[in-house]
Amino acid sequence: MVVLTLLLGGGALAAGTRQVAMQDAVADAARLLARGEGDAAASRTVHRAVAGAQTSVGRHDGLICVSAEAVVPIAGALTLPIRTSSCALDGGL
């Protein structure tokens, strides 16, 4: 029981770390797009932070928003989906 608790706790900590890394990368990607960089550069930024993350871009009301999703393994067979998004002013510096 103690080993299982340690495995799940360690997995949850790793998932939280990836969530923070992906949030930072998504914010960077939104700013890149707002400055005129291409979708490929934004996608690479997110993938460098979390391998296997799926990204999407939306533009509305003067904002460029980037969303990302990934599945993080916890304790071997268990997985945890993580999602995050961030927006930047379109054409902003």
Domain chopping of the chain, boundaries: 2-89
What is the pTM assigned to this prediction? 0.84
Q: In the chain, where do the E strands start and end? A: 54-60, 63-74, 78-89
pLDDT values of the chain reduced to their tens digit, one per residue, 93 residues: 887 777 777 777 888 889 999 999 999 999 999 999 999 999 999 999 999 999 999 999 999 999 999 998 887 778 889 999 999 998 755
CB within 8 Å of 25: residues ≥ 6 apart: 45, 46, 48, 49, 50, 53, 68
Q: Which residues pair with 79 in a beta bridge?
A: 73
Q: Which two tokens stand for residue 2?
A: 């103690």
Q: Both ends of the chain: CA-CA distance in Å?
A: 52
